Amino acid sequence: MIYDVIIVGAGPVGCRVGELLGRDGVKVLILEEHSEIGRPVQCAGLVSHRIFELCDVSKDVVVNRVKKARFCTSKNYLELKSKKIVYVINREKFDKEMAKKAKSANTEIKTSKKFLGYKNGKFLRVKTDKEVFQTKLLVGADGPNSTVARIARIKLPNNRLTGIQTMVKSDYDPDSVELWFDTGVSPEFFGWVIPENKTQARVGLATKKNVVKCLDNFFLKRFNKRVKYIDVVGGTIRYGLIDNSVSDRMLLVGDAASQVKPFSGGGLVYGLICAEIAAKACVKTLEEGIYGNDFLKEIYDGVWKKKLSMPIRKGLAMSQIIHSFDSEQLGLLFSLFKKGKLTKLLEFTDMDLL
């Protein structure tokens, strides 16, 4: 059997591409290395209102609704009210719903199939640890350490962090998420406290090294005690503008293409925006019968970058600026924001597209 498109990775972005292609009558196979969709969880699960505009997943995946963000240092904080509701979601449930929608569009999903590589020819021969498949086109939706990208010799951005998160019982304001920009917490990123309710929150951070030690230090700053690790979530965050997201008969999407907000590390919104662009590019490629790098660069790489390259560049600049300050300087900056009109300006800023 020869598939029109094989997608590597059954995360929400890969499943969204599969769903959209399936609706257009394209014969699609999604390969997932894990035995169960949505596990292991590798996301903090904090998403903007756009998530439900970009896919028709039900609100049943929502755990909490957040209205405020508190930007913290050890000695000061700045609280901003969101003009739109921010959602805390159950990522496992979300992923499973996305996979179900892909299947309902006649997209085939095979789990426990680890992608090992592919070879060009009249068709692509896609090798897994179990069997070999043939396809006209390959989509890499296999995350920040994409094997598809490595096999295609596509260079990924060097900005790379390791994230870790655990569940912590305490007293919380369920309407407010905390973002800790403190060099004692994470020199390159930030720590977060994402409440699910009044008594339970997802607490974590991302950094370049010594991630567990940094999280232990964060616990001492935030809770004045060490915390037992429960329901630990971890993963890689890779961000920056990729030079090229295509090759002959192949394109990358989602975290595999570093379609990630540099300031927050979130990949769902950008990934789902690009899933639609990727699906349209696949359909056009199949219709035209042109599978070369140049054509895919024109109809996919150039199109998504026209929409997201500027937000990604702005996010990179914003991240570099805020991390150029130490904790004391940030505290003073927050004090100035509170006194001036900049707080209102920040509240109107679209943090998805800056």
CATH number at residue 224: 3.30.9.10
**22-58 tens-digit pLDDT:** 999 999 999 999 999 999 988 899 999 899 999 989 9
> Do residues 170 and 306 both lie within one domain?
no
Of 310, 306, 262, the residue nearest 281 (C-alpha): 306
Residue 335 has pLDDT above 90, yes or no: no
CA torsion sign for 127, 142, 106, 284 is negative
Whether the CB-CB separation of 192 and 205 falls below 8 Å is answered with yes
Pairing of strands 132-140, 250-252: parallel
pLDDT, position 353: 56
| Residue 182, in any domain of the structure | yes
> Do residues 139 and 210 both lie within one domain?
no
pLDDT, position 346: 57
- Angle at CA 254, nearest 5°, toward 250 and 256? 60
* 3-state secondary structure at position 61: helix
Residue 193 CA to residue 175 CA, distance in Å, equals: 12
Whether the CB-CB separation of 234 and 42 falls below 8 Å is answered with yes
**146-192 tens-digit pLDDT:** 999 999 999 999 999 999 999 999 999 999 999 999 888 998 999 99
Residue 1 CA to residue 244 CA, distance in Å, equals: 30
- Average pLDDT over the chain, rounded to whole? 93
| Residue 257, in any domain of the structure | yes
| Residue 52, in any domain of the structure | no
A 10 A CB-CB count for 141 gives: 32
Strand (E) or helix (H) holding 167: strand 159-169
Q: How many CA atoms lie within 13 A of 101 on its CB side?
A: 21
> Do residues 310 and 175 both lie within one domain?
no
pLDDT, position 41: 87
| Residue 353, in any domain of the structure | no
> Do residues 65 and 103 both lie within one domain?
no
What is the 3-class SS of 2-40, one letter each residue? EEEEEEECCCHHHHHHHHHHHHCCCCEEEECCCCCCCCC
| Residue 50, in any domain of the structure | no
Percent of the chain, pLDDT > 70?
95
| Residue 47, in any domain of the structure | no
pLDDT, position 347: 56
> Do residues 177 and 282 both lie within one domain?
no
Q: Tell me the pLDDT band of 333, cut-offs 50, 70 and 90.
A: confident
pLDDT, position 73: 87
> Do residues 274 and 308 both lie within one domain?
yes
Whether the CB-CB separation of 35 and 117 falls below 8 Å is answered with no
What does DSSP assign to residue 328? H
Domain count, the chain: 2
- Lowest-confidence pick of 110-114, 150-154, 270-274, 322-326: 322-326
pLDDT, position 340: 61
> Do residues 261 and 141 both lie within one domain?
yes
Amino acid (one-letter) located at 273: I
> Do residues 233 and 269 both lie within one domain?
no
Residue 173 CA to residue 223 CA, distance in Å, equals: 14
Could you tell me the CA-to-CA distances from 76 to 200, 321, 329, 332, 333 in Å, in that order? 23, 18, 10, 8, 10
| Residue 273, in any domain of the structure | yes
> Do residues 264 and 291 both lie within one domain?
yes
| Residue 210, in any domain of the structure | yes
Q: Tell me the pLDDT band of 297, cut-offs 50, 70 and 90.
A: very high
Residue 320 CA to residue 293 CA, distance in Å, equals: 33
Of 225, 91, 112, the residue nearest 168 (C-alpha): 225
Strand (E) or helix (H) holding 314: helix 302-322
> Do residues 196 and 300 both lie within one domain?
no
Q: Which domain holds residue 340?
A: 59-89+159-237+326-347
pLDDT, position 183: 84
- Lowest-confidence pick of 180-194, 218-232, 305-319, 337-351: 337-351
> Do residues 286 and 299 both lie within one domain?
yes
Residue 216 CA to residue 27 CA, distance in Å, equals: 48
Residue 342 has pLDDT above 70, yes or no: no
**10-20 tens-digit pLDDT:** 999 999 999 99
CATH of the domain at 273: 3.50.50.60
Q: Tell me the pLDDT band of 101, cut-offs 50, 70 and 90.
A: very high
> Do residues 11 and 131 both lie within one domain?
yes
